[in-house]
Amino acid sequence: MLNPRNVTASAPGKTILFGEHAVVYGKPAIAAAVDKRAYVSIQEREDKKTHVTINNIGISGFLNIEQGTIELDNGENNEGILKYVLIALMKTGSKDGLEITINLDIPVGAGLGSSAAVTVATVKAASSFKYVKLTRDEIAKLAYQVELIVQGSASPIDTILSTYGGIVYLSRDAEKIIKLDIDSEIPLVIGYTSKRGNTGKLVESVRLKTESNPQVMIPLFNSMEALTNGAREALTSGDHKMIGEFMNINHGLLDAIGVNTDELSKMVYIARKKGALGSKLTGAGGGGSMIAYCPGKFKEVIESINEFENAFKLKISTDGVRLE
Ligand code: MEV
């Protein structure tokens, strides 16, 4: 028998360096693709059923692309990331009869964009499996639509980073995406907690605060805009001190809008104590992850965070989505 055809695509996760939450109010943000990827492999199944296995998190089940349904193998009803896979298959016009295997080296629920990475890699693998070549723009748009359908609301940051890779400045409403020409060896550490934040709920809580106190909240978003623009310059010119300072200010503002937690604070302040020039929570908050800017101090920062949570040195992925 001939070897069955196997198409594998992968896409990186992301971390937000500056401007999260403010982007929801039309402000810019800077984000980086992380060198941890989701791998999606597709093969044909002869029985015309579609089955997905997500290794690492032990979820598997049958999808019915035609009917838009999911049945987990363990009979439970925690579909999680399988929903993104299903909608991505529907959006790419895929037909039932697929065996899909997903390998994740991105920690799930840590705010590192694992669902967007799976979505983007699924769009790429599924379209390539049908011999359709999509441009990166088309992949990013389709993947964003998938996130909107599954989550109800989303900013395009995660899907853009998983598609294009690198370090990206997103202008107002992500209308303009500018890849920043920065050394991908940027000295960053990511720390993450096992407690996950709920992005939808956090964005909603910030919206309610903004509605009831616009005169207090809007200036905070304006400050985030100013510091994101300042950080763009500092990153480009390699001004370590200012990069760190902008991170610290950004963290204070994120605390002010109510998305910080004890666990994140503890990591943020330990990192500074161990020599980081700056540190902040990253992403939606309420759990999830933090980043620390620590030229020459990786070891100390990683070791001290690892004593109570998890930390690793961030490597930026200059590659976005790709076929393996
Ligand atoms: C979450 O990763 C980032 C937020 O700004 C929400 C979003 O942009 O979708 C909090």
End-to-end CA, the chain: 23
pLDDT digits (tens, 9 = 90+) for 172-185: 766 788 999 887 78
Task: Check if the beta carbon of residue 321 is closer than 8 Å to that of residue 11.
Answer: yes
DSSP three-state, residue 287: coil
| Known active-site residue 158 | yes
pLDDT digits (tens, 9 = 90+) for 249-262: 999 999 999 999 99
Is residue 6's pLDDT more than 80? Answer: yes
Q: What is the atom index within ligand 1 of the atom nearest the CA of 158?
A: 2
Task: Check if the beta carbon of residue 13 is closer than 8 Å to that of residue 105.
Answer: no
Confidence of residue 231 (pLDDT cuts 50, 70, 90): very high
Average confidence score pLDDT of the chain:
93
pLDDT digits (tens, 9 = 90+) for 135-162: 999 999 999 999 999 987 778 899 999 9
Lowest model confidence (mean pLDDT) among 35-39, 179-183, 187-191, 236-240: 179-183
The answer to whether the CB of 268 is under 6 A from ligand 1 is no
Among the options 35, 96, 137, 158, which is catalytic? 158
Confidence of residue 31 (pLDDT cuts 50, 70, 90): very high
CATH class of domain segment(s) 7-181: alpha beta
Q: What topology is assigned to 188-313 in CATH?
A: Alpha-Beta Plaits (3.30.70)
The answer to whether the CB of 21 is under 6 A from ligand 1 is yes
Percent of the chain beyond pLDDT 90? Answer: 81
Residues of the chain with CATH 3.30.70.890: 188-313
In angstroms, the CA 285 to CA 197 distance is 6
The continuous run of DSSP H or E covering 276 comes out as none
The answer to whether the CB of 203 is under 6 A from ligand 1 is yes
Residues of the chain with CATH 3.30.230.10: 7-181
Task: Check if the beta carbon of residue 15 is closer than 8 Å to that of residue 120.
Answer: no
Give the pLDDT mean for 9-37.
95
Give the predicted TM-score (pTM) of the model.
0.91
In angstroms, the CA 154 to CA 212 distance is 22
C-alpha 93 to ligand 1 mean position (Å): 28
Is residue 109's pLDDT more than 80? Answer: no
